[in-house]
Amino acid sequence: MPSKFVRENHTLLCDFYELTMGNGYLLSGIGDRIAYFDVFFRTIPNNGGYAIFAGLEQVIDYIENLHFDDEDIEFLRSKGVFDERFLEYLRNFKFTGDIWAMPEGTPIFPGEPLLVVRAPIIQAQFIETYVLLTLNHQSLIATKANRIVRAADGRPVAEFGSRRAQGADGAILGARAAYIGGCSSSACTIADQWYGVPATGTMAHSWVQMFDDEFTAFDVYCTLYPNNPTLLVDTYNVLQSGVPNAIKAFKKHGITKCAVRIDSGDITYLSRKTRQMLDDAGLYECKIVASNSLDEYIIRDVLAQGACIDAFGVGERLVTSKSDPVFDGVYKLAAVEDENGKIIPRIKVSENPTKITNPHFKKVHRLIENHTGKAIADLICIHDEVIDTAWPLTIFDPDYTWKRKTLTDFTAVELLKPIFKGGKCVYHRPSLEEIRKYCAEQLDMHWDEVKRFENPHRYYVDLSQKLWDLKHEMLRLNR
C-alpha cells in the first residue's frame, strides 16, 4: 500500500493472552529465547482440493509498522497486570526476527508450513493474532474467488460485495484477495486506489427510480456515458419494460457496444429471452451481465442450462465466502533454541489427531514431474535436509505409510522464501498483477483432478523419513 495513506496503528490488535504470556516470559527470564512458530491450516474450505495463499503483503506492512504508542503503554498499564519492566520492553518493541513464507498466489494444502517465524519468544508470540487474521481472511477469499471464476469458465467475474462484507477490511482486502483469485474487477473504489484492483460500476435501481420513467433514466445515462454503458433492466419488469427501454435508448444514441444487467428473477430464462430480444434488434455486441446472490454452484447450474450470460457480478457469497466463511489457519510452536543455538523440536499432542503438530524448524518442497510439468506432492523436511534430484526419491503417506511412490524424473521447488532477516524485510514485493498472474500459472501446474468442486483428488503432503521418525519418537514419549 502506498505510504501516503495513513493506516491505523493496529499493534494492539492482538489477543490479550499474547501480552500476559509476554509479561510472563520476560519475568521468568526466558523472554529472549528463540522460538519457531509455523502457520498452517487443517481443512480446505468447501471440501475443495486446494486453497490459495494470500495476505502476505499485509503481514509485511504490519511487521514493519509494529510499535507501541504512549497511549498504548498507558492503556496497558491501566489493566493492572503488567510489570513496569514489560511495559518498558514494549516501549522499545521492534520485530528483530526472521520470517519465511510462500509467495501470495501459491496453491496451498493442509498441514504444510505457509509461514515460519523465528524470533525471541515475546516477539514471536505477540504477532500471532494479526498474522493469522490477515492470512486466514485473504486466503479464504482468494480461494472462494478462484472457485467462482473457475465456474464462470472464462467469463469475467466482478466482485461487488462490499456492502455485506464483515467490516472495512473485509471489503477492501476482500476485493484484493478476490482479484488474486482471478476476479477481473471490484465495485470497491478504495481497493482500486490503495491496491490497484480495477474498480467498475454503473447504476443502481435508485438511478432508474430518480427519473420520471425508465426510458428517461436510460436515455440520460447513455447521453452521459456513451462509451460502453451498462443499463440495469430489472427495476420494474425485465422483459416487458427494462430490455425494450434499453434497446430504445441504445438505438437512439447509436450505441452498439453496451450491456444490460439482470439482478433478480430467473436469470437463466430472463437472459435467454433478453439475448433473443437484443439479437432481434441487431444488438449482437450487447453483453448480458447477471447478478443476485450468485456463487460457483449457481453459476455452474445456470450455464449448464444454457443461460446467455457474458459476465457475472458476485456479491456477498464471495466477499464472506458464505458457504464456508472460516479459514482455519493456526500458529503453533515448532521448536526453541537452547543457549548454544541448538534447535530443540517441540510438539503439541491432542486427542484429535489433526490437532497434533509437526515438530522442528522445517522447509517445504513442491515436487514437480518433469515430463508433465505437474505437481505430484509437497514434501515437508527438516530445515537442513537436502533433496538430491539425481537419485530416486521415495515418498509415503504420513498416516497410511504403506502408500508409497518413487519419483525419478522430478524437480524439487522450495516454497518458503525469506521475507524478514533480522527484522529487515528482504523480500521484493511483487505487484498485485504479478501475484494474480503467478496464481494462475501455479494453478496450471496442478492436475484438474485436484481442482474439481466435489470430491477432488487429495493432493499429497508428505513428511520426509527423518521428520516422520522424529515426530513419532516424540509422540511415543508424549513430549
Taking CB under 8 A as the criterion, which residues in 164-193 touch a copy of itself?
164-174, 187-190, 192-193
Q: What 3-state DSSP class applies to 478?
A: coil
Instruction: State which residue, 33 or 405, has the beta carbon closest to a copy of itself.
Output: 33
| Beta carbons of 378 and 366 less than 8 angstroms apart | yes
Taking CB under 8 A as the criterion, which residues in 428-457 touch a copy of itself?
none
Near a copy of itself by CB under 8 A, which window of 21-29, 142-150, 249-257, 442-450? 21-29
Taking CB under 8 A as the criterion, which residues in 202-231 touch a copy of itself?
202-207, 209-210, 213, 220-221, 224-225
Near a copy of itself by CB under 8 A, which window of 74-82, 304-312, 397-405, 431-439? 74-82
DSSP state of 199: B
Near a copy of itself by CB under 8 A, which window of 134-142, 244-252, 374-382, 451-459? 134-142
Instruction: State which residue, 124 or 387, has the beta carbon closest to a copy of itself.
Output: 124
Per CB under 8 A, 352 contacts a copy of itself: yes
The distance of closest approach from Cβ of residue 168 to a copy of itself in the complex, given in angstroms and rounded to an integer, is 5
* Nearest CA among 251, 306, 259 for reference residue 287: 259
The distance of closest approach from Cβ of residue 180 to a copy of itself in the complex, given in angstroms and rounded to an integer, is 15
- Which member of 3, 92, 455, 478 binds a copy of itself (CB under 8 A)? 478
Cell 466435489 belongs to residue: 454
Q: CA 53, 59, 64: angle at the middle one, nearest 5?
A: 155
Residues 6+ apart with CB under 8 A from 6: none
* Nearest CA among 445, 188, 466, 453 for reference residue 315: 188
- Grid coordinates representing 29 are 527470564
**Concatenated DSSP letters of 57-83:** HHHHHHHHH----HHHHHHHHHTS-S-
Per CB under 8 A, 257 contacts a copy of itself: no
Instruction: State which residue, 72 or 369, has the beta carbon closest to a copy of itself.
Output: 72
- Which member of 256, 326, 431, 472 binds a copy of itself (CB under 8 A)? 326
Per CB under 8 A, 68 contacts a copy of itself: no
Per CB under 8 A, 47 contacts a copy of itself: no
Per CB under 8 A, 36 contacts a copy of itself: no
| Beta carbons of 283 and 256 less than 8 angstroms apart | yes
Taking CB under 8 A as the criterion, which residues in 284-313 touch a copy of itself?
none
- Which member of 133, 233, 247, 255 binds a copy of itself (CB under 8 A)? 133
Give the Cα separation of 375 and 444 in Å (integer): 9
* Nearest CA among 316, 274, 273, 328 for reference residue 291: 316
DSSP state of 448: G
**Which contiguous run of DSSP H or E holds residue 99?**
strand 98-101
Taking CB under 8 A as the criterion, which residues in 79-108 touch a copy of itself?
79, 81
* Nearest CA among 477, 475, 478, 459 for reference residue 467: 475
* Nearest CA among 114, 91, 179, 111 for reference residue 142: 179
- Which member of 110, 156, 201, 244 binds a copy of itself (CB under 8 A)? 201
Instruction: State which residue, 2 or 154, has the beta carbon closest to a copy of itself.
Output: 2
Taking CB under 8 A as the criterion, which residues in 378-407 touch a copy of itself?
none
The distance of closest approach from Cβ of residue 343 to a copy of itself in the complex, given in angstroms and rounded to an integer, is 14
**Concatenated DSSP letters of 201-255:** ----HHHHHHSSSHHHHHHHHHHH--SS-EEE--SS-IIIIIHHHHHHHHHHTT-
Per CB under 8 A, 9 contacts a copy of itself: yes
- Grid coordinates representing 326 are 472460516
Per CB under 8 A, 7 contacts a copy of itself: yes
Near a copy of itself by CB under 8 A, which window of 135-143, 425-433, 439-447, 463-471? 135-143
Instruction: State which residue, 42 or 424, has the beta carbon closest to a copy of itself.
Output: 42
Per CB under 8 A, 20 contacts a copy of itself: yes
Q: CA 135, 139, 143: angle at the middle one, nearest 5?
A: 175
- Which member of 60, 115, 117, 132 binds a copy of itself (CB under 8 A)? 132
Instruction: State which residue, 170 or 457, has the beta carbon closest to a copy of itself.
Output: 170
* Nearest CA among 222, 234, 209 for reference residue 290: 234
The distance of closest approach from Cβ of residue 427 to a copy of itself in the complex, given in angstroms and rounded to an integer, is 22
| Beta carbons of 479 and 394 less than 8 angstroms apart | no
CA atoms 403, 406, 409, 410: torsion sign: positive
Instruction: State which residue, 12 or 440, has the beta carbon closest to a copy of itself.
Output: 12
Instruction: State which residue, 325 or 422, has the beta carbon closest to a copy of itself.
Output: 325
CA atoms 467, 472, 477, 479: torsion sign: positive
Instruction: State which residue, 182 or 313, has the beta carbon closest to a copy of itself.
Output: 313
Cell 513430549 belongs to residue: 479
Per CB under 8 A, 337 contacts a copy of itself: no
Amino acid at 179: Y
The distance of closest approach from Cβ of residue 253 to a copy of itself in the complex, given in angstroms and rounded to an integer, is 14
- Grid coordinates representing 312 are 457475472
Give the Cα separation of 427 and 158 in Å (integer): 30
Q: How many residues bind a copy of itself (CB under 8 A)?
A: 109
